[in-house]
Amino acid sequence: MAPVADIAVHDRPVAERIALVCLVVVGVLWAFGALVDSAVFFQPILFGLGTGAIIAAIALGLVVAYRASGVINFGHGAIATYITYIYVSLTDTGHYPIPPIPNPLAPIEGIFGVEILDIPTMIGTGGPMAKGWAAAIALLTAALLGLLAHYAVFRPLRYAPVLAKVVASVGVMLFLQAAVVLRFGARAKSADPIFPNGPVDFLGVRINQDRFWLLGTVALLTLALWLLFRYTRFGIATRASAENERFTTLLGFNADYQAGMSWVLSTVLAGAMGILVAPVTGVTPNLFTVLLISSLAAALLGKMSSFVIAAATGMALGIIDQQLFRIEFEFAWLPDIGIRRALPFVAVALVMVIRGEALPSRGAVLLGRLPAAVAPLITRWRLAAYSLLVTLAFLVSVFAPFQYRGAMVNSMVGVILALSFVVVTGYLGQISLMQMALAGIGAFAVGSFGTAAGMPMLIAMPLAVACGVGFGLVVALPSLRTRGASLAVISLASGLAIEEIFFRRAGWFGLDRTMKHSDPPEIFGIEFGPNSSFILSDGKIPTGGFGVFVLVLTVSSCVGVMRLRRSRLGEQMLAVRANESAAAAAGVNVSAIKLAAFGIGSFFAALGGVLTAYKLGIYSGAQFGIFASLGALAFAYLGGISTVGGAITAGTLFTGGIGIVVSNEWFIDMGSYSAYVAGLFLIVTAVYNNEGIDGFQRTQFHTVVNWWRARRGLGPLDPMAVVGVEER
Amino acid sequence: MSDSVLYTEGLTVRFGGLTAVNNVTLDCSRGELTGLIGPNGAGKTTFVDAVTGFLPGNSSGSVQIEGTEVFGRSAHLLAHAGLSRTWQTLELFDDISVRSNLDVASRVLTVRGAVRDFFRASERDDRVEEILELLGLADIANRQPVELSQGQRKLVGVGRALVASSTKILLLDEPAAGLDRTETAWFGEQLRGLVDEGYTMLLIDHDMGLVLNVCDRIHMLVFGELVTSGTPEEMRGNPDVIAAYLGHSGDSSNG
């Protein structure tokens, strides 16, 4: 955007000063601690070296990928995980995993009951493999993965809006992580040591020496990358093409090759560090993705371009983490509020305050379009179709067999959750990766207010939703200063912090072994929970009464968002999405509009959470973690992120939703493959059709209508008349 | 000064060591079309950005609208106070229709207004329809900006700036860029027509032809400084203007 883009930066020096003061205070406290007891001081530093090294290494890879293609790669941790698992599998059993591939002959096989094509899940190499060979094969895979990521995903997205890039990288994360779980299960794995790991005594602390080896490796890597990008022809050309691709091309460089090679460098780096670190920390399918958030903070502090700052900050975060762990251990009497768990969030937030919107952006001339936020013309036909849809939903929720009723409820809750993305991402154009955390706040709060505190539903439910909105607004505050990928990072970190602080520990919501209870909803003594014996019940859950309750809320939500799109508030959101500066010049209070959108988005997220609580009765933080948020974004984007129709489509796709259940019962059982397929489709959608399924069927419908009109000798339909951007 | 709509005094913009606009004092009188000219890089657009509140950390000085000091207010509040602008690069809202582009700017959205608007089916805004009619955009009001020609897009930009009822002065940043000679002349006539209807405007351009033809009063910026001002007649033969545009030649002032 124009140099005039940032309208809220003038207070940055103050923020910088605050950050500096904080740093000094921390330093002084630390030095004081060192005077008191040098072992206490050094121990966390030394113990933190392991975690710090991974965080730093992931941060280095993030910087390389960003320099290559301007993508903040949320899939980077998952790439490291995938490669590490390959290595571990090869050294353990000599098996090389094949990612799940659909069998094209499956229908024929199904009909004739024979197995023609048997795609193996693993290729055996005959017994455990030597570490060197295993590492070589794993890293070769990493290189191929890098090429694939570049040519199949991020190169086509070169000129795409940030939204598509972030979504695609989230797709990469979900896809690879699901592949790991499918092939290896969710259990932690360990690996044989690579570095010598005998204990050494250092400054009065006994510690395994592999920490030092890791530290040295990261330091060497940082130096090597710095030299590479500073002095070699390759590095300089890559930097140049990040700044101005066209000119670099004119100078005779192949910008595409530069970017591709950088991607390979980035993925090999990820894989190599995973392999080196696995013996120290062990590896789980989402370990590196959780650490990724700290790495993002480190990389962002280095403006996604400084290797040294990224690595040093990564190390520091690992050490601070150990320090906080130590403090929690030593001073157990301190109230346990989970500060340590929030460390990545605190780090990201601080970095944002210091850095603001200072990320260097690539000099792309033409940006692709965002998905169209269509407001359909409400014609008689459409009204009839909507009525039919609602009637159908009503009939299914009340009279269908119980598994379909349950699926319908899941879908309707999914629609409401997807609507929260429609408002925040579709209309406002900002990326939130924490909507399920807000849903969790709603769910846990309604349990506390309604069940624990015994408030009636008509008070507890609005209160719980208000809690969600409050959280949403607080977390939205950074959106006034940042946007795009940076905001996605903040929201991801916030989601993790909320999950760790509120949902996983007994403290805040009075959890019973991290489980939460909620009584069924009830108005004036009439209960209509999923298993209340109220009318419309065949004795199986969920009852029709609950279905109708959810249906009423879902329909109101959909109508509400459709009206929002047409109202001036909605128009102003789209204006902000299109161009913040121009919106401000046109008299739009950009900050207020952003807060309004986040508030409304949080409202729907929290409402979805409350309904989830009523639906489940007993639930835990697992339903509301960051991976749930990422999954929800995936479904919402697949359905169509910027329309109510898209949200409805998304609802059918949600886990346990009507589309999934129908497909399971009548066609194929997706079962454990749903996350894998969702990740894959998310990538495809982001790259090739950012309008999602809803937009796809819309254009198909127009094609058919126009074909029909052409046959009857009529001219093609005015696209705008169909899209009906204008009703007024 | 009694009838000045926009008055800047000592407006300065610095980017680090670079002074892009230096101590500019400028006055736009009611009902007049004021021109601001200058060669490329003179600081014209930077001046507009500073006046309209987009360079808060870099600018200093005074900006008054009808005698009220407004310097330091944020961009949207300046819009509410009466400053309307267009952009050299248009910066339309590409995702919504032409009519919605104008709707967004047409009035200040209050919380009450937003809620009322949400619950009532919003009706068309007379002011928006009037401007669409005035600029000949009524037929394409339902189109999205990307579907329009460059000339039409420029008019949408002007319309968006005109439509706010609070508008006291219009700042047009290089509205004629990319138009050919005939289009520019036509565009100039449209502007003149609007001014004759009572609008006050500041026209920023480096197209001397356009500015000399339509403006009432002209200021020239060179390297961020206001070097000369005058009526079009005075500016036409002004050696400073000729020097700024054609470069210095030793004896041009004698000729």
| Cβ(A438)–Cβ(A424) below 8 Å | no
SS3 assignment for A425-490: HHHCCCCCCCHHHHHHHHHHHHHHHHHHCCCCHHHHHHHHHHHHHHHHHHHHHHHHCCCHHHHHHH
Would you say A125 and A96 are in contact if contact means Cβ atoms under 8 Å apart? yes
Q: Is the pLDDT of residue A625 over 70?
A: yes
> What residues of chain B lie within 8 A of the CB of A720, using their CB?
97, 142-144
A504 touches chain B (CB under 8 A): no
Whether the CB of A714 is below 8 Å from some CB of chain B: the reply is no
- Shared domain for A249 and A154, answered yes or no, is yes
Asked if residue A98 is part of any domain, the answer here is no
What residues in B contact A589, CB-CB < 8 Å?
76, 109
Residues of A in contact with B85 (CB under 8 A): 585
In a domain, A415, yes or no: yes
CATH class of B1-82+168-255: alpha beta
Assess whether A329 and A433 both reside in one domain. no
Helices and strands (DSSP H and E) totals, chain A: 29, 8
Q: DSSP assignment of A514-538, as one string?
A: TEEE-PPPEETTEE-STT---SS--
Are the Cβ atoms of A571 and B99 closer than 8 angstroms?
no
Please tell me the distance in Å from A4's CA to the nearest CA on chain B: 5
Determine contact: A600 vs chain B, CB below 8 A: no
Nearest CA in chain A to B147: A720
Query: Are B53 and A582 an interchain contact pair (Cβ–Cβ within 8 Å)?
Result: no
User: A552 in a domain, yes or no?
Assistant: yes
Yes or no: say if A285 and A184 are a contact pair by the CB < 8 Å rule: yes
Does A368 lie at the interface with B, CB-CB under 8 angstroms?
no
Whether B51 has a pLDDT exceeding 80, the answer reads yes
Helix (H, G, I), strand (E, B) or coil at A715: coil
* C-alpha pair distances (Å), A537 with each of A19, A394, A401, A531, A545: 59, 14, 11, 8, 7
The reply to whether B248 touches chain A by the CB within 8 Å rule is no
Of the candidates A579, A585, A728, the beta carbon closest to that of B123 is on A728
| A363 inside domain | no
pLDDT at position A480: 78
Q: Which of residues 63-82 of B touch A (CB under 8 A)?
A: 74-76, 79-80
Q: What's the CATH code of the domain at A526?
A: 1.10.3470
Given a cut of 70, whether residue A52 has pLDDT beyond it is: yes
Mean per-residue pLDDT, A12-33: 67
Binning pLDDT at 50, 70 and 90, where does residue A721 land?
very low
Distance (Å) from the alpha carbon of A44 to chain B's nearest alpha carbon: 42
> What are the domain boundaries of chain B?
1-82+168-255, 91-162
Alpha carbon of B235: minimum distance to chain A alpha carbons (Å): 31
pLDDT greater than 80 at residue A318: yes
The mean-pLDDT minimum among A110-119, A318-327, A462-471 falls in A110-119
A428 and A503 share a domain? yes
Q: Whose CA is closest to B230, among B243, B244, B216, B242? A: B216
Instruction: Please tell me if residue A240 touches chain B, with a CB cutoff of 8 Å.
Output: no
Chain B: closest CA distance from residue A587 (Å): 4
Question: Which residues 115-144 of chain B have a CB within 8 Å of chain A?
Answer: 117-119, 121-124, 141-144
Burial of A352 (0-12, 13-18, 19+ CB in 10 A): buried
Residue A554 shares a structural domain with residue A665? yes
The length of chain B is: 255
Q: Does B59 touch chain A (CB under 8 A)?
A: no
Q: CA A218, CA A487: separation in Å to the nearest integer? A: 28
Q: Closest Cα to residue A467, out of A455, A478, A479?
A: A455
Query: What's the structural domain count of chain A?
Result: 3
- Residue A556's alpha-carbon distances to A497, A562, A652, B118, in angstroms, are 32, 10, 18, 13
pTM of the shown model: 0.86
Closest CA to A412 of A722, A658, A114: A658
- A27, part of any domain: no
More confident residue, A6 or A700: A700
Selected for mutation to probe chain A from B76, B83, B97, B143 (highest A CB count within 10 Å) is B76
- Name the residue in chain A with its Cα closest to that of B77: A587
pLDDT, tens only, A453-471: 778 888 889 999 999 999 9
Q: Are residues A512 and A636 in the same domain?
A: yes
Q: Give the pLDDT confidence score for residue B13 in this predicted structure.
A: 93
Bigger pLDDT: A181 or A110?
A181
Q: A188-246, pLDDT tens digit by residue? A: 887 777 777 777 776 666 777 777 888 888 889 889 888 888 888 888 887 777 777 77
Regarding whether A546 and A506 lie in a shared domain, the answer is yes
pLDDT at site B252: 42
- Taking 70 as the threshold, does the pLDDT of residue A106 lie above it? no
Q: Does B47 touch chain A (CB under 8 A)?
A: no
Q: Are residues A331 and A423 in the same domain?
A: no
Q: Report the gap between the CA of A303 and the closest CA in chain B (Å).
A: 20
Please judge whether B114 and A567 are an interchain contact, meaning their C-beta atoms are less than 8 angstroms apart: yes
Put simply, whether A15 touches B (Cβ < 8 Å) is no
Tokens found for residue A61: 């890879």
Residues A4-16: what's their mean pLDDT?
45
Q: Which of A2, A575, A720 sits opposite B142 (nearest CB)?
A: A720
Cα distance between residue A304 and residue A292, in whole Å: 14
When computed from its CA atoms, the radius of gyration of chain A, rounded to whole angstroms, is 26
- Of chain B, the percentage scoring pLDDT greater than 70 comes to 94
In this model, does residue B253 exceed pLDDT 50? no
d(CA A193, CA A207) in angstroms, rounded, equals 15
Region A672-696: mean pLDDT is: 84
Q: With beta carbons less than 8 A apart as the criterion, state whether A647 and A425 touch.
A: no
Instruction: Residue A666: count other Cβ atoms within 10 Å of its Cβ.
Output: 7
pLDDT at A725: 41
Do A65 and A181 lie in a common domain? yes
Q: Which residue has the tokens 């059993």?
A: A93
Q: Enumerate the residues of chain B whose CB falls inside 8 A of the CB of residue A579.
A: 91-94
Specify the DSSP class assigned to residue A671.
G
* Separation CA A283–CA A254 (nearest Å): 38
- For A626-642, the DSSP string reads HHHHHHHHHHHHHH-TT
From its phi and psi, is residue A303 left (phi > 0), alpha (psi between -120 and 50) or beta?
left
Which of A8-22, A327-341, A574-588 tops mean pLDDT?
Answer: A574-588
- Among A579, A641, A642, most B C-beta atoms within 10 A, so best to mutate, is A579
Query: Chain B residues with CB inside 8 Å of A590's CB?
Result: 76
Ranges A313-327, A328-342, A474-488: which has the least confidence: A328-342
Span A537-559, mean pLDDT? 86
Is A372 within the bounds of a domain?
no
- Mean pLDDT across A289-296: 85
In A, which residues are within 8 Å of B113 by CB distance? 568
Domain C-terminal end among A355, A373, A390:
A355
Q: Locate the chain A residue with the closest alpha carbon to B81.
A: A587
pLDDT in tens, B99-153: 999 999 988 888 888 888 888 765 678 889 999 998 888 999 888 888 888 888 8
Task: Name the domain boundary from A287, A320, A355.
Answer: A355
- A722 and A597 share one domain: no
How large is the ipTM? 0.90
Quote the pLDDT of residue A7.
34
A·B CB contacts under 8 A? 135
CB nearest to A579's CB, from B93, B108, B122: B93
How large is the average pLDDT for residues A605-629? 89
Does A595 contact chain B (CB < 8 Å)?
A: no
Average pLDDT of every residue of chain A: 81
What does DSSP say about strands A95-97 and B225-230: parallel, antiparallel, or unpaired?
unpaired
Let me know whether A280 and A416 are in one domain: no
Q: Contact A725/B97, CB-based, under 8 Å?
A: yes
Name the band, by pLDDT with cuts 50, 70 and 90, for residue A413.
very high
Domain assignment present for residue A8? The answer is no
pLDDT at A97: 85
Q: Take residue A518 and report the two structure tokens written for it.
A: 């909620």
- Which residues form the domain of A725? 700-728
Per-residue pLDDT at A546: 87
Q: Chain A: nearest CA to B90, how far in angstroms?
A: 9
Contact between chains at A584 and B76 (C-beta distance less than 8 A): yes
pLDDT reading at B98 higher than 80: yes
Which of B52, B100, B143 is closest, CB to CB, to A585? B52
Find the CB nearest B56 among A10, A567, A726. Answer: A10
Q: Do A588 and B104 touch (CB under 8 A)?
A: yes
Q: Where are the beta strands (DSSP E) in A114-165?
A: 122-124
Question: According to the model, what pLDDT value does residue A605 have?
Answer: 96
Q: Cβ of B165 under 8 Å from any chain A Cβ? A: no
Q: Collapsing DSSP states into helix, strand and coil, what is residue B226?
A: strand
Q: What's the distance, CA B243 to chain centroid?
A: 25
Whole-number pLDDT of residue A716: 65
Residues 6+ apart with CB under 8 A from B199: B31, B162, B167, B170
Across the range A276-298, mean pLDDT stands at 83
pLDDT for position A357: 54
**Residues A703-725: what's their mean pLDDT?**
67
In terms of DSSP H, where are the helices of A568-643? 568-578, 580-585, 590-616, 626-639
In this structure, the answer to whether residues A541 and A592 fall within a common structural domain is yes
- Residue A235 domain flag: yes
Q: Are residues A310 and A451 in the same domain?
A: no
Chain B touched by A382 (CB under 8 Å): no
Which of B118, B121, B160 is opposite residue A586, by nearest beta carbon? B160
